[in-house]
Structure 1
Amino acid sequence: MTDSTSKVTFSRARDRAKKQPSHKKRPSPRQNSRRSLSKAKTELNPTKLPKFRLLLVWGVMVAGCVGLGWRLYQLQIVQADELRQKARQQQVINVRPYIPRRTIVDSQGNVLATSRLTYSLFVHPQLFESPKEKVATKLAQSLGDTTEQNLLEQFRRQKTGILLSASLTEDIAEKIKKLNFNGIDVQERYSRFYPQQEMAAEAVGYVDREYKGQAGVESSQQPLLERNSTSFSLRSSRDGTIVPAYLPKNLLNFDHLQLQLTIDLRLQRVARSALKQQLRKYHAKRGAVIVMDATDGSLVTLVCEPIFNPNQYHRSQVELFKNWTVADRYEPGSTFKPINIAIALERGAIEPNSRFYDSGSITVDGWEIYNATREKFGSLSIAEVLQTSSNIAMIQIMNRLSRKDYYKSLQKLELGKRVGIDLPGEVAGSLKSESEFSAKAIEAATASFGQGFSLTPIKLVQLHGALANGGKLVTPHVVRGLVDAKGYLHWQPSFKTHRIFSPKTSREVVEMMETVVTDGTGKPARIPGYRIAGKTGTAQKAGASGGYIPGAKITSFVGIFPVESPRYVILVVVDEPKGENTFGSTVAAPVAKLVMEALISLKGMPPSQKVTDE
């Protein structure tokens, strides 16, 4: 091969190399290092932001910090107490153990009211797994006071929460539990039980299903009947688990004191029996018997008929829950005449030996007034005025006082005030205004024989108690105090007294009232060997809208004995007796006699040393 041929071949190879793409040279390590450094500097030095954007970001951050600080101040300082209290409410459970109400006993320690464990029966038909017919059959057999059909009807009307009984006995409750039916719930609870039933319901009252007193001392003495109990706290963890905590010392220790009443259950039974018999005999609307110890105002007997059974109060008429001896007013009639005699003696308007002429009628402000029997009694001593119950003589006696003085004397008796008895629902008496009373002579005339104003039976007992104890108004009450199991008195209420008559006046009037029983209308109340003072009353019955109800009357008798040492006041009131011979002497006085005979026997009272009998 020649040289020229070799040159041509090299030239072609060079031309092909030019036509082919050339490859880049790989950078050296030093060049790579320089490039990485340059790139890092670019990343560390971003593009510079505008100034307003920096200020905006800075402002947002500052505002956020200030807001958080302010909120922290609100939570830690301002709302600290409130939040702490909420936390405690969520974390702590307050527990107060159940402590039964105090037992109520009479003056002799007989239980009148106590708490006992009873059972409530609820059924939930939607949870029954057995046929409803089978459940109804078994329950009817266990309860005994319902039928299978009646239960099935209840199951159809309601799917859950049916209360079948609120007072199951323990043996019945256990029998139902043994049935093992799903959907039957027997719940234990405490309820009030009254072993004497209606015998002392006027004073005791009753407790409802919420365990709240609704009448009698169960209502008025709620603070005394509810024992003081200490509540304690249990702390709960975050998951609701109860954590044991400190318990107060003597937590479950409580006193065993009982609330003792002044009522004597023995005399209560006698009074109720005698009153019920008389109400049936004269077909009367209602009646009451009150016996008060005038030395301190304690009520030995308080009977109203008709009355309710506190164990079954829900079956009684609502009006029976009201003790009308403290809640209803009436015009006392002639039983108020001894009080008027005491007023006249106290004012010096008459003397014990004064005499007045009863002509049988008298006209006052155009009104013709007669005696209740339409009789004319002629010349009468003060004692004979009470014996005959002369309206005519009473008008003449009270006319010796100016109307203003007479009115002030009635005000002194506190006729317009409550007596303050420890029973609920008491109302004050009703006395007309002084201007109205003084404007017309007929007002003083009717007031002289116990009409034209009204008071409660308990107020009349209080006034006659003042005659018995030497002139002092005592507070009638049924609560003796708190006693322990041995009868020792740990607490007793205190009452104020207020003098309205002098001892001399009181004594003179009581001795005059004795002649009413020995020689006057009160003879049916006489008891051989005992000196008894009394006064009968037969008053017209005022209507609710004014005037008097035609043919309706209220008969009553008030007695004080023994006369030689007056202590007890007895009031018998019979409302609306039916028949011809219905007077205080025929309807009320015989009841008072039976009550006094029982009182003599129970208290062991000896016969009077000086007895005035026919």
Structure 2
Amino acid sequence: MSPYSSGPIEPRQTGPGAQRWVLPAWRAQEMAERATLWQVGRRQLILLIVALLVLAGLVGRIAYWQIWQHNLLAGRADQEDLRAIQIYAGRGYILDASGHILALSVTEDEVIADPDVLRSADALDNTAATLGQALKLPESLLRSELDVPGAYVAVRDSKRQVVLLSVQQSDQLGKHIDQGDLPGIALIPVVRRVYPDGNLAAQALGFVRESDGTGQYGIEQQYNKLLSGQPGVLYTAVDAAGDPLATVPQQQTPAIPGSNVTLTIDANIQYWVEEGLARTIKQMDADGGTVIVMDPQTGAIMAMASQPSFNPNRYANASLVDFINPAISDTYDPGSVMKAMTMAMGINSGVITPDSTYVDTGRTVIDGITLHNWDQIAHGKLTMTQVLQYSANTGAIWAANQIGNVRFSGYLRAFGFLQPTGLGLPDEAAGRRDQSSAQDLTTAENAFGESIAVTPLQMVMAYGALANGGTLMRPYIVSNITPGNGQGPETRYGPQRVRQVVSPVTAAEVTQMLVESASKSEAQMNLVQGYTIAAKTGTSTPDITNLSDTFASVVGYAPASHPRFVILVKLNHPRATIFGGSAAGPLWRALARQLLIYFQIPPEAGMPAGAP
């Protein structure tokens, strides 16, 4: 039998009396080989399963990062390779009523130097000479500016102002830099707000802070968001030095330019007002003053000026107090200009007429306090028109007594006092009444403009109501806002009626009273020949022990038959003369003459030129 063929298992004797079955050798070898093969296959299966599990883990991990964490990885990559560069939006213009530019932004270069590079290249002397020639500055000054420790300094002039280059200077230095003649020197563009007319309307405009481009005070602050626009963003790949790669595609969110704001202010009138105010303050040895010109039919502010003021191009050199607009933020006791309001209250209430009379004894006692006429004179029997002519305090007190405390207080608010006007500029004051005295005394003193604090604009509004048939208009200084990119609707502002304070008949009667009294009083409005002028003077001395602490003013409108403008002239503490007519009157008349010519208003019928 073949040793490889299957056969019976042969029994084998292993001991006395014992018999045991034994496998053939070939069968035992076959079974051992099969066991070995099974063990090898098992190991391979285990390895395969482990490999598959590892592969699945890798695939899952790759999917996790590539799919679920894609945005995170892309963002991190962009942070490494991309830079977000802000694109300047371009601040909008501020213009006057005729489109004359009052404020704009320009881009100029400043010179930045790296002193370490200059020293390492031994180029201090040559650089100072080249810059000196281009900038018209002494080489010694520039060398001292450049030879300082550290890196990156801005070149400054002898007044320590950062040097801003003209277009020609930028081109000249740019060529030197490109040619390698100025190592360590770079030109950095700087956006700067410019006010072409300097001080003109500075307190109405405000300024833009250089450090962050934010509007401060006035129009620049009130409309900062609209003027600023919305900056854009440029996403660009950069090299290892952080410089943009021009060959790489860029992503950009375009900037939205700031809106242009057009004012109701007329730059010509504003100039005449400011020039005349500065001259008058000097002549009258006053501490300052305010002038406002308003259209009574609409409430549009045509000019608003105060002194002291500042140059918004050099705002860092100004005092903080000069940034505030006294026309809307400062209050004062108006004095006798308030008597026109008192007469209007009484006539509209039906308790007095222009011809009502009382006997002026020169003084009156209210709540135990004796109040005098400003001139200490007893004028005898006076009509209400004559009360305005002589500016008799006792006559205003008599009229206020007929009106009564409650009604008088109501009319004060109706005329716009004791509350902001709503002009739309920051930091507007509301005014206040003296609450320390008894009500009767407060009303009596308010009747002739004492113990009540008002802003110049509030007083202009009140006279504007008389000039406008008794209708109070809300003052406004912005006429329209236009999107800088030319897209979107234009926003327009216009006349807004507040309330009917007194009837048209009352307004006309008070206007005639002012015309008659102004032509015969110290106001000397008869000197504005060919036109009827409705005006009143005021002289207030809050502290009777200190006559130098005086406010002198004139408020009025013209032509009285159809008013085109209201003018307020107010001087703070004049010393040459303290009275409203003699201190503020000359400027008021001069401005009125200029405006009558400027608006081409012909002389009134029955009032030929040359006659009062």
Answer yes or no: same fold by TM over 0.5.
Answer: yes
Distance in 2, matches of 1:272 and 1:305, equals 8
Aligned-residue offset at 1:393: 1.2
Partner of 2:600: 604
Distance in 1, matches of 2:585 and 2:190, equals 47
Distance in 1, matches of 2:256 and 2:71, equals 34
Partner of 1:562: 559
Alignment partner of 1:104 is 2:98: no
Q: Secondary structure at the match of 1:521?
A: coil
Aligned-residue offset at 1:529: 0.6
Aligned-residue offset at 1:596: 0.8
Find 1:421's aligned residue among 413, 420, 423: 423
Change (3 A) 1:347 1:246: same
Distance in 2, matches of 1:462 and 1:152, equals 57
Aligned-residue offset at 1:40: 4.0
Partner of 2:11: none
Distance in 2, matches of 1:479 and 1:166, equals 35
- After superposition, residues 129-168 of structure 1 pair within 5 angstroms as 129-144=121-136, 148-149=140-141, 151-152=143-144, 155-156=147-148, 158-162=150-154, 164=156, 165=162, 167-168=164-165
Partner of 1:480: 479
Find 1:321's aligned residue among 313, 320, 323: 323
- After superposition, residues 349-428 of structure 1 pair within 5 angstroms as 349-428=351-430
Partner of 1:340: 342
Partner of 1:56: none
Aligned-residue offset at 1:328: 0.8
Partner of 1:50: none
Partner of 1:507: 508
- Report if the CA contact (8 A) 2:346-2:400 is conserved: yes
Distance in 1, matches of 2:117 and 2:526, equals 68
Q: Secondary structure at the match of 2:199?
A: helix
Change (3 A) 1:228 1:122: closer
Gaps of 5+ in 1: 1-28, 47-60
Distance in 2, matches of 1:130 and 1:496, equals 73
Partner of 2:286: 284
Change (3 A) 1:368 1:574: same
Change (3 A) 1:206 1:252: closer
Distance in 2, matches of 1:237 and 1:122, equals 22
Aligned-residue offset at 1:464: 0.8
Q: For residue 493 of structure 1, what is the amino acid of its counterpart? A: Y
Partner of 1:492: 492
Find 1:584's aligned residue among 573, 580, 584: 580
**Between 551-560 and 203-212, the greater mean CA deviation after superposition:** 203-212
Distance in 1, matches of 2:293 and 2:506, equals 23
Q: For residue 303 of structure 1, what is the amino acid of its counterpart? A: A
Q: For residue 492 of structure 2, what is the amino acid of its counterpart? A: Q
Superposed CA offset, 1:445-491 (max 9, x none): 211111111111111111111111011221222212146999xx943
Distance in 2, matches of 1:286 and 1:146, equals 40
Q: For residue 330 of structure 1, what is the amino acid of its counterpart? A: Y
Partner of 2:186: 185
Partner of 2:569: 572
Q: For residue 208 of structure 1, what is the amino acid of its counterpart? A: R
Superposed CA offset, 1:549-607 (max 9, x none): 5521011100111011123110001101113x321111101001111111011110100
- Report if the CA contact (8 A) 2:525-2:533 is conserved: no
Superposed CA offset, 1:29-58 (max 9, x none): 979968974994897799xxxxxxxxxxxx
Aligned-residue offset at 1:150: 6.7
Partner of 1:203: 204
Superposed CA offset, 1:150-170 (max 9, x none): 751663255433353253222
Q: CA RMSD in A?
A: 4.0
Q: Secondary structure at the match of 2:514?
A: helix
- Report if the CA contact (8 A) 2:132-2:142 is conserved: no
Distance in 1, matches of 2:477 and 2:526, equals 26
Change (3 A) 1:339 1:158: farther
Aligned-residue offset at 1:221: 2.1
Aligned-residue offset at 1:200: 2.6
Partner of 2:466: 467
Superposed CA offset, 1:367-408 (max 9, x none): 222122222211111111111111111111101132222222
Aligned-residue offset at 1:410: 2.0
Distance in 2, matches of 1:470 and 1:88, equals 71
Partner of 1:55: none
Q: Secondary structure at the match of 1:400?
A: helix
- Report if the CA contact (8 A) 2:523-2:582 is conserved: no
Distance in 1, matches of 2:444 and 2:129, equals 72
Find 1:269's aligned residue among 244, 268, 271: 271
- Report if the CA contact (8 A) 2:89-2:256 is conserved: no
Superposed CA offset, 1:305-352 (max 9, x none): 222122222222222221111111111111111011111112222122
TM-score (normalised: structure 1):
0.79
**Between 389-398 and 303-312, the greater mean CA deviation after superposition:** 303-312
- Report if the CA contact (8 A) 1:220-1:423 is conserved: yes
Partner of 1:527: 528
Equivalenced residue count is 550
Superposed CA offset, 1:107-145 (max 9, x none): 222222222221122222112123434434443443335
Partner of 1:52: none
Aligned-residue offset at 1:94: 6.4
- Report if the CA contact (8 A) 1:523-1:585 is conserved: yes
Distance in 1, matches of 2:143 and 2:395, equals 70
Q: Provide the identity percentage.
A: 26
Aligned-residue offset at 1:81: 12
Change (3 A) 1:300 1:81: farther
Alignment partner of 1:443 is 2:442: yes
Find 1:174's aligned residue among 171, 174, 183: 171
Distance in 2, matches of 1:237 and 1:146, equals 39
Distance in 1, matches of 2:512 and 2:70, equals 74
- Report if the CA contact (8 A) 1:234-1:244 is conserved: no
Aligned-residue offset at 1:211: 2.6
Q: Secondary structure at the match of 2:407?
A: helix
Q: Secondary structure at the match of 1:168?
A: coil
**Between 163-172 and 422-431, the greater mean CA deviation after superposition:** 163-172
- Report if the CA contact (8 A) 1:526-1:532 is conserved: no
Distance in 2, matches of 1:567 and 1:430, equals 30
**Between 109-118 and 129-138, the greater mean CA deviation after superposition:** 129-138
Alignment partner of 1:518 is 2:519: yes
- Report if the CA contact (8 A) 1:326-1:426 is conserved: yes
Aligned-residue offset at 1:244: 3.7
- Report if the CA contact (8 A) 2:345-2:403 is conserved: no
Change (3 A) 1:605 1:340: same
Distance in 2, matches of 1:312 and 1:192, equals 11
Q: Secondary structure at the match of 1:356?
A: strand
- After superposition, residues 207-222 of structure 1 pair within 5 angstroms as 207-209=208-210, 210-222=212-224
**Between 415-424 and 570-579, the greater mean CA deviation after superposition:** 415-424
Distance in 2, matches of 1:254 and 1:444, equals 53
Distance in 1, matches of 2:41 and 2:252, equals 70
Aligned-residue offset at 1:532: 0.5
**Between 261-270 and 452-461, the greater mean CA deviation after superposition:** 261-270
Alignment partner of 1:116 is 2:106: yes
- Report if the CA contact (8 A) 2:230-2:255 is conserved: no
